[in-house]
Chains A and B, each alone.
Chain A
Amino acid sequence: MLIRIEVNGDPVSATVDPRNTLAEFLRYQLRLTGTHIGCEHGVCGACTVLVDGAAVRSCLMLAAQADQSQVMTVEGLADDAELGPLQTAFRKHHALQCGFCTPGILMTMHALLSEEPEADRARIREVLSGNLCRCTGYIPIVDAVFDARSSYQKNRPE
């Protein structure tokens, strides 16, 4: 079936098999391999992307269900060679080790800070509980997200 979506600002129309998840579509058809597929049943959070601004697990959404929506992946966070503020904070605080879970965590936290730029550490941890990281522990991740808040507070539409 034919779907028309917008991915990181670019219009895309493509033919998908109904059984394709959004994660599979992004990786295998659009070659946007920044979105990682971990558990494939909605537990690990590695495949988190934004659909119409809301963080969702792309392994639990059919590509067909994303028809007519706007999708943002981790590739949309950076401005060409320049890292976005959340990514910069992750580098500064060593908030990643192997990096497998990082795209999902970045997208989840980008959604959170876009919606709630005043989120405190407890709220960050609560939302982060839907993303599994098996390398670093979560303390540097929370530090990085907390540090990145100022950029989202500045960018907040009045």
Chain B
Amino acid sequence: MKLPPFKYASPETLNEAVQLLASRPGEAKVISGGQSLVPMLAFRLAAPSLLVDLRKVAGLNEIDVTDHGVRLGAMVRWCDIERHSQLGLAHPLLVEAVSHVAHYQIRNRGTVGGSIAHADPAAELPGIAVTCGATICIHGLSGDRVVNAEEFFTGALTTILSEDEIVTAIQFPPWPAKRRWSFQEFARRRGDFAVAGAMLFFDEDTDGRARGAHIGVIGMGDRPERLRPAENILNGRMVDVQTIALVANAAAKTVDPPTDIHATTDYRRALVATLVERALKASNKSEGGRAITDVNSY
């Protein structure tokens, strides 16, 4: 459908952008890649009176890899992450997760800030941000603030962003070289939204027991979540067949997924157990946690 009418502005600084947002409280929306917002406009799920395009604002499309971790500017696109030479080593879980985001054409436009601010419950990047304990950098009329990803998402398509605020970057904590990790999701077609996804990482002590486990899921409720009961079971254990079964079972018990057109509650609960099991098996492989089964492809 034709988009609803709106005014359009493309300011050159963040400050101008937040002033424009504040000039029409609740009626203005930020656009960058537009890969989530334009469909929302086409479906009339959103009808803002003003779009504030960030395309002329400099400095939002940088990827920084430092001792402090990985920082993604809000206008970094999926294809930028895919092509970056250092990210594969600096944050393999992030790169693997992003390889599941959308299709080729959308990857050329879609941005990380857009995905975070849109807050789709099945989206990969919000899941990775919550699982990794990333922080979201925000700029608004009253200045800058930094919020933990787990506090940022408050519901389906809902975040703590105020009407005048813009996501400017996502900061991931440092990633030790020998960390075990995996990302597994199930989608009907590669690139489509996942029915569910599970992602995890842990380090190993000198005996090879897991410690510092983080386990997160997407598509299981109104926002991405960490499954702390499952993490607690994994911590201190060797990752063997018995542990994998215990952790997968705990994951299935912890989630409270909805029934919708795509899957029932029971199906999703079983699916999360399978995905956590696959993730733990894949995390034991030296090449890391890429998908170990071919169910998602072709």
User: Out of A19, A40, A45, which one reaches B103, CB within 8 Å?
Assistant: A45
Task: Give B17 Cβ to nearest chain A Cβ, in Å.
Answer: 15
* A108:B104 contact, CB within 8 angstroms: yes
A17 to B298, CA, bound (A): 40
Closest to A41 in B: B39
Q: Across the interface, do A18 and B6 meet the contact criterion of CB distance under 8 Å?
A: yes
Chain A residue contacts of B10, Cβ below 8 A:
64
Q: Contacts A21-B38, A41-B39, A129-B190 given: A61-B109 contact, CB under 8 Å?
A: yes
Question: In the complex the two chains form, is B108's CB within 8 Å of A60's CB?
Answer: no
A34 at the binding interface (Cβ < 8 Å): no
Interface status of A78 (Cβ within 8 A of chain B): no
Q: Are A54 and B108 in contact (CB under 8 A)?
A: yes
Would you call A21 and B3 a contact (CB within 8 A)? Answer: yes
Please count the residue pairs between chain A and chain B whose beta carbons lie under 8 angstroms apart in the complex.
88
Say yes or no: A60-B8 contact (C-beta < 8 A), given A45-B103, A54-B79. Answer: no
Contact of B39 among A19, A42, A111 (CB under 8 A): A42
Interchain CA distance A66-B216 in the complex, whole Å: 38
B84 interface residue (CB < 8 Å to A): no
Could you say which residues of chain A place their CB within 8 Å of the CB of B7?
Answer: 18
Please judge, given known A-B contacts A18-B51, A64-B53, A130-B103, whether A59 and B5 are in contact too, CB under 8 Å: no
Consensus secondary structure, chain A interface: mixed
Given contacts A18-B7, A19-B4, is CB(A130)–CB(B104) below 8 Å? yes
| A60-B104 contact in complex given A1-B8, A21-B3, A129-B189, C-beta closer than 8 Å | no
**Shortest Cβ distance from B9 into A: residue:** A18
Q: A54: shortest Cβ distance to chain B, in Å?
A: 4
Judge if A112 is at the interface, Cβ distance under 8 Å: yes
For window 39-94 of A, CB contacts with B under 8 Å fall at 40-42, 45, 48, 54-57, 59-62, 64-65
Check A18–B109 contact: CB distance below 8 A: no
- Residues 1 to 20 of chain B near chain A (Cβ within 8 Å): 1-8, 10
Q: Are B43 and A41 closer than 8 Å at their CB atoms?
A: yes
> Which one of B2, B5, B34, B39 lies within 8 Å of A62 (CB-CB)?
B34
> Mask for B113-150, Cβ within 8 A of A = 1, else 0?
00000000000000000000000000000000000000
**Which residues of A, 97-139, contact B by the 8 Å Cβ criterion?**
108, 111-112, 122, 125-127, 129-130
Name the residue on A nearest B2 (C-beta).
A19
Contacts of A1 in B (CB 8 A): 8
A contact residues, total (Cβ < 8 Å): 31
Inter-chain CA distance A130–B53, complex, in Å, is 25
Measured between beta carbons, the chain B residues less than 8 angstroms from A40 are 1, 42
A124 to chain B minimum Cβ distance, whole angstroms, is: 11
What CA separation (Å) do A20 and B6 show in the bound complex? 10
User: A19 to B34, Cβ gap below 8 A?
Assistant: no
Please list the residues of chain A having a beta carbon within 8 angstroms of any beta carbon in chain B: 1, 17-21, 24, 40-42, 45, 48, 54-57, 59-62, 64-65, 108, 111-112, 122, 125-127, 129-130
Interchain residue pairs A-B with the least CB separation, the first 3? A130-B103, A18-B8, A41-B39
Besides A20-B3, A56-B108, A130-B191, 17 other A-B contacts (C-beta < 8 A): A18-B5, A19-B5, A21-B3, A40-B42, A41-B43, A48-B105, A54-B109, A55-B104, A56-B105, A60-B35, A60-B109, A61-B38, A62-B38, A64-B53, A126-B104, A127-B103, A129-B190
